[in-house]
Amino acid sequence: MLRSQLPKIKGYHLLGVAGRGQFGRVLCAYQIATRSLVALKELDKYRFPTHKLLRELRFLIGLNHPNIAKCFTLLHTDHIRYLVLEYCSAGTLRDLMKCSDWLTARQKIKLVIDLLQGLAYAHNLGIVHCDIKPENVLLQLNADGWVVKVSDFGIAHLQQETDQHSGSRTGSPAYMAPERFYGKFSYSSDLYAVGIILYELFTRERPFQGSAEELMTAHLNQRPPHMDKLPIPLQSIVQKALAKLPAQRYDSAEGM
């Protein structure tokens, strides 16, 4: 997209489209006041009522952890709202997974530990993410390698609440715990999704494939196949994370 086609937002120089998510575009912008790059996540104001969005924003701005993408503020325009977020220049975990052959076992485990540390912090504050997937795991690169920054806290939860009222389901079926298909969720629902990601990092495939309905059936009824493709020390960890019943999974991110 040409810069001339980007919206005009006071206090920001819009540089381009950094990506697209389920809620709209993510723009890269230069924040004049701080002289830094930020990400602007578009949110349709008709899809996210003001009072609910402001309620979630209180929690979002309060999240302060090195493995969670920082949320700074909310911008309003005539038709679109923008969350102003920490800009993560190294893409998403999904991008990295496409070249996961380059990663060592130690690097893969470090990425998952980063993810669990971010979740542990949020869970201890009573916040469930509800939509953990590689696309919502952003990355920064420093001298020690990749650093995970979990994104979409609060917004995923708000979408869950909105869809429950409308009678539909939200989330990404490939990463949804069994109870999520019935509108239930807990901390262990997030850990189930981490188990899927851990499996995928080491096998280059998800344990269950197919349409949304086929995925629901698999998550509810099937055992994860090809566990022998995982390193032996990880097999029991993934098996426990992917237990069908929440009570049989890890009781905390710290535990996992």
Residues serving a catalytic function are 131
Burial (CB < 10 A; 0-12, 13-18, 19+), residue 17, is middle
The span from the CA of 44 to the CA of 40, in Å, is 13
The span from the CA of 104 to the CA of 188, in Å, is 27
Task: Give the dihedral of Cα atoms 25, 31, 37, 39; nearest 10 deg.
Answer: -20
The span from the CA of 196 to the CA of 119, in Å, is 15
Alpha carbon 202 to its chain's center: 19
Instruction: Give the list of residues 6+ apart from residue 20 with CB closer than 8 angstroms, or none.
Output: 26
Q: Is the dihedral of CA 177, 241, 198, 235 positive or negative?
A: negative
